[in-house]
Amino acid sequence: MHKLFLLLFLALCSLASLCAQQNEVYIKAGLLYDSEQNVIIKDKVVHIKGNTIISIGDLNSIPEHAEILDLTEYTVLPGLIDAHTHVLFSQDASEDFSEHSIHSLTMESDAIRALRGSKRAKSYLDVGITTVKDLGNSGLFLDVALRDAINEGTIDGPRIFASGPIMAATGGQVYGVSPKHQDLIDLEYRIINGVEDAKIAVREHVNQKVDLIKICADNIPNNTHLSIAEMKAIVKTAYGYDLTVVAHSITNQSAWNAIHAGVHGIEHGFNLADSTLTLMANKKVFLVPTENSNAYMQTYSKLAGYDNDDLGWVDNYLDRMKSRLTRAIKKGVTIVAGSDNYTDIGGTRGESSKDMFRAYFEAGMKPLDILQSATYLSAVSLNKENEIGTLKSGAKADIIAVKGNVTTDFINTIEDVVFVMRDGKVYLNNLN
């Protein structure tokens, strides 16, 4: 009997060894993007074993009889990162955010919401986005559940960094709710009532295994906002658990307050003054400018019901966003790419997410700087720069390939994704 077990054990070991050998591949890259140095280099080999990059070498480093994936006709990039998503939330352009939120909370089950979110999640992989930062509007930790389902292989999707419910002042971002139904908002936001409650809220999130904390520094169009003392308590408590804190901010004052409270990043920051941008640069607080392209805004406006005579605000909005982004870059603020595209304007969520690349390009960012914001710098903001957003030894095998020249034809090239690998598994292979 013991001999039978020994033979079975040896057979299993042999099979495991064979699988390990079969799960080793060498990718030949005609062009390879070094996101840390922000340069394109030629003729490199990416050696992958399992879900890990073993090394980046020269073409002559491939051993005999190795499994080779020939991408010499393409540009090889780290998997892209969208640092501001809401995978569990979607609305039509013509819908009111608050009304839709209440409808979702009262008329939709968590199950249907999670199933819809899983379909959106897969669409990110289809366009080369292998990691997302999901920032609330996802019920009571449905984003954490979705993350775990992806990690265990139950469904396909990008690597998710989940914040859980957004921490906010009274009312959250859901406006117009009658006093007797304010409790509904607790199903979507963690409402903070004082400094001690702020500390408790962080601990609640820690027990649910979130990856980071998101707060609302302001609640526009609601008038309430977190105090500096509450935000400081959140940041200090989160820091004790090795969690970063990012702040939703619309007004300049709310961003100023959040930065002084110690947050690590500002999300949106639509109205940042030069003095606030200087403060961000000095304190190394990153900015996620959730921009949209001209084409996106035109489509959104039509779906939202605006007349052609009423579209002057679009140009004004785009000009202001371009000015803010340009000023931030000149001040030395770290730019991290994020879309915030939760409105359905046609196409998949992944396709909508990639509009941020067109928006940054139209606003004047250089192609390689855009790529770095969507890879290495995004990974740095997550304290994961040795694992994702980069192609180097020890990093996760999150690798994509595009057809074209990213420096001279950026938009067409970044939209022509032909190969996607996440964590060593191939999800898309449209090589010619």
Q: Which residue has the tokens 């490199």?
A: 44
For the chain, the average pLDDT equals 93
AA letter at 190: R
Specify which residues 57 forms β-bridges with.
45
Choose which CATH entry (3.40.50.720, 3.40.50.1980, 3.40.50.2300, 3.20.20.140) describes domain 80-353: 3.20.20.140
Kindly report, residue by residue over 264-289, the tens digit of the pLDDT: 999 999 999 999 999 999 999 999 99
**CA-CA distance, 208 to 204, in Å (whole number)?**
7
Amino acid 189: pLDDT: 97
Which residues have C-beta within 8 Å of that of residue 108, sequence separation ≥ 6? Answer: none
Rounded-to-5 percentages of helix, strand, coil across the chain: 40, 25, 35
Kindly report, residue by residue over 115-144, the tens digit of the pLDDT: 999 999 999 999 999 999 999 999 999 999
Closest CA relative to residue 46, chosen from 411, 402, 394: 394
- Say what the pTM is: 0.93
- Distance in Å from the first CA to the final CA of the chain: 54
User: How does residue 310 score in pLDDT terms, banded at 50, 70 and 90?
Assistant: confident
Instruction: Residue 227: count other Cβ atoms within 10 Å of its Cβ.
Output: 15
**CA-CA distance, 23 to 18, in Å (whole number)?**
9
Amino acid 13: pLDDT: 47
Under the phi-then-psi rule, with left for phi > 0, alpha for psi from -120 to 50, and beta for the rest, what region is 176?
left
Amino acid 23: pLDDT: 85
The helix (H) or strand (E) run that includes residue 114 is helix 110-126
Average pLDDT over residues 93-111: 93
Kindly report, residue by residue over 235-246, the tens digit of the pLDDT: 999 999 999 999
Amino acid 82: pLDDT: 98
**What is the maximum alpha-carbon separation in the chain?**
85
Kindly report, residue by residue over 166-208, the tens digit of the pLDDT: 999 999 999 999 999 999 999 999 999 999 999 999 999 999 9
Kindly report, residue by residue over 35-89, the tens digit of the pLDDT: 999 999 999 999 999 999 999 999 888 988 889 999 999 999 999 999 999 999 9
**Main-chain phi, psi angles of 154, to 5 degrees:** -65, -40
**Whole-number percent of the chain with pLDDT over 70:** 95
User: How does residue 305 score in pLDDT terms, banded at 50, 70 and 90?
Assistant: confident
**CA-CA distance, 65 to 358, in Å (whole number)?**
42
CB 381 within 8 A of CB 82: no
Distance of CA 126 to the CA centre of its chain: 15
Amino acid 17: pLDDT: 42
Closest CA relative to residue 283, chosen from 311, 309, 258, 250: 258
Amino acid 308: pLDDT: 78
Instruction: Specify the CATH class of 24-78+392-429 in words.
Output: mainly beta
Amino acid 336: pLDDT: 98
Amino acid 313: pLDDT: 87
Tokens of 5: 């077990």
Q: How far is CA 412 from CA 32, 117, 126, 257, 359, in A?
A: 18, 28, 16, 40, 13
Kindly report, residue by residue over 1-50, the tens digit of the pLDDT: 455 544 444 444 444 444 444 489 999 999 999 999 999 999 999 999 99
Closest CA relative to residue 99, chosen from 179, 184, 218, 220: 184
Q: Where are the domains of the chain?
A: 24-78+392-429, 80-353
Q: Which residue has the tokens 């004082």?
A: 194
Q: Are 24-78+392-429 and 80-353 the same fold in CATH?
A: no
Alpha-helical runs (H) found in 308-409:
312-331, 349-353, 355-362, 367-373, 376-381
Average pLDDT over residues 383-404: 97
